[in-house]
Homo-oligomer: A and B are copies of this chain.
């Protein structure tokens, strides 16, 4: 397993930006919840994919650690403690490169990463927010905005209780 330091450095290198490094931001945990980037989350298995139009205008993959994947596949709700869901979002953009090959303009692909969000299940630690802790990271750095992080649960809590506050459905 990679160390957290290595992971953070790798994330910056992979994301191809030094903005986080030069801005002096060092926050590695989300406000309120203290969620950090899980080690090797990019190796996790796929839960599903989605496109959010409107203000987000992104295309996204949802990955899960072993506990989350097992729960999705077996339909276990609520999710057991230790489940972590990662949502990786990218700029939603048309692909002229693909479209010139296809019979018609039709191809939309993932551009640069926008942010990564994590949902961490800990029914005791996060008892006040349905058992889930939230974190959002840009360029490997935790977004420090408390209003932003509060908006996560404010939206997830509107879901039907049978979903355990999770939007994603597993895609076979």
Contacts and interface: CB of A to CB of B under 8 A. Distances in A.
Q: Is the interface of A mostly helix, strand, loop or mixed?
A: mixed
Contacts of A52: 106-108
B106 A54 contact: yes
A106 B49 contact: no
B46 A51 contact: no
A88 B110 CA distance: 15
Interface in A73-108: 88, 90, 92, 95, 98, 101-108
Interface of A: 14-16, 42-46, 48-56, 59-61, 63, 88, 90, 92, 95, 98, 101-110, 113, 155, 158-159, 167, 169, 171-172
